Amino acid sequence: MHLTLPLPARRLLQATTFWKNNYLILREFKHFRKIAILAIFFSILAAIFEGFGLGFLLAFLQNLTAPNAEPLKTGISWVDIWILGVNAPAIERLYRVSALILLITCLRAGLNYVSQIFTQFSEINLVHNLRQRIFEQLEAQTLSCFAEKRSGDLINTLTSEMDRIRQIFGSFAFLITRGLTIVVYSASLFLLSWQLSIISVLLFSLLAVGLTTLNKRIREFSFAISTANGQFASRTLEFIDGIRTIHASSTQDFERQRYYQASLGVMNAWKKVYWISLLVRPLAESLSTVILIGMIIAALTSGFMQIASLLTFFFLLFRIVPMTQDLNGTIAFLSSQGGAIDNIKQLLETKDKIYFKNGDIQFQTLQRSIDLVSVDFGYEKSKLVLNNITLTIERGKMIALVGVSGGGKTTLVDLIPRFIDPTEGHIFIDGIDLQKFEIDSLRRKMAVVSQKTFIFNTSVRNNIAYGTPWATEAEIRQAAYQANALEFIEKMSAGFDTQLGSDGIQLSGGQQQRIAIARALVRNPEILILDEPTSALDSVTEGLIQDLLEKYLVGRTTIAIAHRLSTIAKADKVVVIEKGQIVEQGKYQELLEQRGALWKYHCKQHEMGEVG
């Protein structure tokens, strides 16, 4: 009962303070302001009718306790005569007031219903708009930003935390509607007896101050809930994604312990909140009851109010007490949701985030070359992944990148479709800075086959045609055939309509890779990026795919990464990268004759000693 009777304005202000720094969330109301305004409007109407009901209640009690006393009047003659019936007998006045009370009650219930409908609509609209805003935020950021985020944390925010936002808004709306009712009740209390009202303010204010500390502690503990939920979501996602590795490594017990520990963290975080938040209501109820009983005894013994007014006063007081207890529980709940608000604020915040800056030149076709000039890249300026890369990729030629893992090859090819942008230096396409092109017009002319393939939880057909929705059935089948995937696809339960499950769980690594190759082939791209596309294939399938690629790559600009040197022997240019730098480049045979870096890789793969 932290919040209590004649302090509604103060408590509503306290609830509003909860949101004052959350303009990123509140501004979403502009998209459905009419619904939100209607919710508030009908709440105000309901509160006004609540006030009318209190006036009729006072008249009803007076007719019961002192039927011969002067009837209550509004001062509006036609209302007093035709509605209240002040000139009618006492029994008729009682009937009239009873009917009015019933009418007002029904009207107030209807208005509250309509208000709740619009409130709920506002709630679901808010969540829908926030999900869209967060998606747009994530989509607009560069891929390098995702290296700093855990997938589990993002999923937790978009699901659990978003559901908490929905509950928060519902609670906030409850504060407003109940707060308006308490305002009407408080005003009525002061009209009935300002002396008793002031005593109530003083006593319940002391109670409110004493309970404020509890809500502060609840808010502090709430941040641990969001952290624990994020860790649990990350652990769960890692378990699901890594289930093959877990079974292969016989680490089920280890993963079980990690999962249980994450779940225990969530449980303990909530326990800390519940220890205090659940204490608030019984403590408030007990102290409130003591205060109310004391006030009733004092009022009855003093005799300074008429019995009807006194009954009405304490009727209001008893109505306010459970309302304020509900509001107190709501305030405690809001205090426990600070972590969810903070997480969503961070995703919506635009400051200190690196956004993808798109160009406006439509890419038509590659005419001459792609040129990297003095390019540096690093996720941290002090730790460069690429250093002073200068490279020309001619139209229609195949460029092969060779080097040890972690040397920067994948990072280099990620620069071409602008998955990342150079820290220093420039990339030009036919003399135009890459960043001036509208990126989708460029990417539509590209295809990327990575070592780690992502398979969507949809049909085989949709996976192959992903990004190429205009592909015909014949083109999809042809691409599958060329990728040596048609045979195993047709053996599946529903053929091309087979649902592949989360991350292609039904497919082997080699089958996933062949689906990815088919996805690239169906695009018929001008520029093809191959990041070890045959690494997950058996030697027979690798040979078939390699023969296919050699035919398919003729006249097509290709950038290929390969550890197996046999797959890039026919490349037009081989570029050896070590520790983020180009150490040599040239034709395959020419580099072998130089007995440099490529020669060392060649000897190692063929288990030869270096020839002097």
Going by pLDDT thresholds of 50, 70 and 90, the confidence category of residue 426 is very high
The pLDDT, as a whole number, for residue 3 is 40
* 211-239 mean pLDDT: 79
Q: What is the pLDDT of residue 427?
A: 93
Among the listed residues 400, 385, 422, the one whose alpha carbon sits nearest the alpha carbon of residue 530: 400
User: Residue 1: what pLDDT?
Assistant: 38
Q: Which of 445-459, 464-478, 550-564 ranks highest by mean pLDDT?
A: 464-478
Task: Please say if the pLDDT value at position 373 is more than 90.
Answer: yes
pLDDT of residue 74: 60
Query: Rg of the chain's alpha carbons, rounded to an integer?
Result: 36
- Residue pair 18/336 in contact by the 8 Å Cβ criterion: no
Q: What are the tokens at 127?
A: 């969540």
Q: Decide: 530 and 472 in contact? Cβ < 8 Å.
A: no
Q: Which of 128-142, 152-166, 216-230, 563-577 has the lowest mean pLDDT?
A: 152-166
DSSP secondary-structure letter at 504? Answer: G
Residue 11, both tokens: 């408590």
Confidence class for position 610, pLDDT limits 50, 70, 90: very low
How far is 57 from 76, CA to CA, in rounded Å? 18
Lowest-confidence region among 80-94, 362-376, 524-538: 80-94
Distance in angstroms (rounded) separating the CA atoms of residues 527 and 448:
9
Which fold does the domain 369-605 belong to in CATH?
Rossmann fold (3.40.50)
The owner of tokens 């009370």 is 101
Task: Give the pLDDT band (50/70/90) at residue 5.
Answer: very low
* pLDDT tens digits for range 558-592: 898 877 777 777 788 999 998 889 999 988 888 88
d(CA 310, CA 313): 5
Q: Which helix (H) or strand (E) holds 293?
A: helix 252-302
Q: Which residue has the higher pLDDT, 383 or 90?
A: 383
Give the integer Cα–Cα distance in Å for 449 and 555: 18
Contact 172, 334 (CB under 8 A): yes
Contact (CB, 8 A) for 208 and 214: no
**160 alpha-carbon distance from chain centroid:** 8
Mean pLDDT of the chain: 77
Per-residue CA distances from 222 to 272, 538, 572 (Å):
9, 52, 60
Q: Indicate if the pLDDT at residue 594 is higher than 90.
A: no
Token pair for 595: 């007995």
pLDDT category of residue 86 using cuts at 50, 70 and 90 = low
pLDDT of 405-419, one tens digit each? Answer: 888 888 899 899 888
* Cβ(415)–Cβ(372) below 8 Å: yes
Coil, helix or strand at residue 341: helix
Q: At what angle do helices 90-140 and 33-65 cross, to 10 degrees?
A: 160
Identify the pLDDT of residue 429.
Answer: 93
Is the pLDDT at 284 greater than 50? The verdict is yes
How remote is the C-alpha of 582 from its chain's centroid? 41
Q: Which CATH superfamily is domain 8-348 in?
A: ABC transporter type 1, transmembrane domain (1.20.1560.10)
Instruction: Determine phi and psi for 491, rounding to 5 degrees.
Output: -85, -10
* More reliable by pLDDT, 278 or 14: 278
What value does the mean pLDDT take over residues 450-471? 86
Report how far residue 329's alpha carbon sits from residue 251's, in angstroms, rounded to the nearest whole number: 44
Band (152; pLDDT cuts 50, 70, 90): low
Which carries the bigger pLDDT value, residue 540 or residue 191? 191
pLDDT of 11 reads 47
Sorting pLDDT into bands at 50, 70 and 90, what band is 29?
Answer: low
Q: For residue 343, how many other CB atoms are within 10 A of its CB?
A: 25
Strand ranges in 347-431 using DSSP code E only, listed in sequence order: 369-377, 386-394, 398-402, 424-429
Residue-level length of the chain: 612
Q: In terms of C-beta density within 10 A (0-12 exposed, 13-18 middle, 19 or more buried), how is residue 554 classed?
A: exposed
Whether the per-residue pLDDT at 317 is higher than 80: the answer is no
3-state secondary structure string across 204-244: HHHHHHHHHHHHHHHHHHHHHHHHHHHHHHHHHHHHHHCHH
CA distance 330 to 91: 43
Residue 6 pLDDT level (bands cut at 50, 70, 90): very low
User: Per-residue confidence at 430, pLDDT binned at 50, 70, 90?
Assistant: very high
Query: 175: closest CA among 7, 396, 348, 351?
Result: 7
Structure confidence by residue, pLDDT tens digits, 114-130: 888 888 888 788 788 87
Residue from 185, 209, 198 nearest 11 by CA:
209
Q: Is the pLDDT of residue 534 over 70?
A: no
- Number of C-beta neighbours around residue 374 at 10 A: 12
Distance of CA 461 to the CA centre of its chain: 30
Residue pointed to by tokens 């929905």: 166
pLDDT at position 376: 92
pLDDT at residue 388 greater than cutoff 70: yes
Are 596 and 582 in contact by the 8 Å Cβ rule? The answer is no
Looking at residue 178, its pLDDT comes to 75
Q: pLDDT by residue (tens digit) across 91-111?
A: 766 677 777 778 877 887 888
Between CA 6 and CA 288 the distance in angstroms is 14
Q: Is there a contact between 388 and 374 (Cβ–Cβ < 8 Å)? A: yes
Q: Which helix (H) or strand (E) holds 317?
A: helix 307-335
pLDDT 10s digits, 475-503: 999 999 888 888 899 988 889 998 887 77
Tokens found for residue 571: 């490349």
In 3-state terms the chain splits into helix, strand, coil percentages (rounded to 5) of 65, 10, 25
Please say if the pLDDT value at position 148 is more than 70.
no
% residues pLDDT > 90 (the chain): 11
Decide if pLDDT at 285 tops 60: yes
Q: What angle do CA 295, 298, 302 make, to 5 degrees?
A: 140
Pick the range with the lowest mean pLDDT from 5-9, 151-155, 447-451, 503-507. 5-9
Identify whether the C-beta of residue 361 lies closer than 8 Å to the C-beta of residue 527: no
CA distance 331 to 213: 12
- pLDDT of 22 > 50? The answer is yes
Is residue 465 scored above 70 in pLDDT?
Answer: yes
Q: pLDDT confidence of 62, banded at 50, 70, 90? A: low
pLDDT of residue 407: 85
CB–CB of 412/571 below 8 Å? no
Q: φ, ψ for residue 48 (rounded to 5)?
A: -65, -45
DSSP conformation class of 290:
H
Q: Do residues 3 and 11 make contact, with C-beta atoms less than 8 angstroms apart?
A: yes
Using DSSP's 3-state secondary structure scheme, residue 529 falls into strand
Tokens representing 538 are: 């058996």
Dihedral pair phi/psi, residue 417, rounded to 5°:
-85, 10
Highest mean pLDDT among 169-178, 525-534, 542-551: 525-534
How many of the other CB atoms lie within 10 Å of CB of 157? 23
- Give the residue extent of every domain in the chain: 8-348, 369-605
What is the structure's pLDDT at 362? 93
Q: What is the pLDDT of residue 392?
A: 92
Share of the chain above pLDDT 70, in %: 75
Bridge partners of residue 264, in order along the sequence:
none
Predicted local distance difference test score (pLDDT) of residue 434: 92
Give residue 372's pLDDT band: very low, low, confident or very high (50, 70, 90).
very high
What is the pLDDT averaged over residues 4-15?
Answer: 45
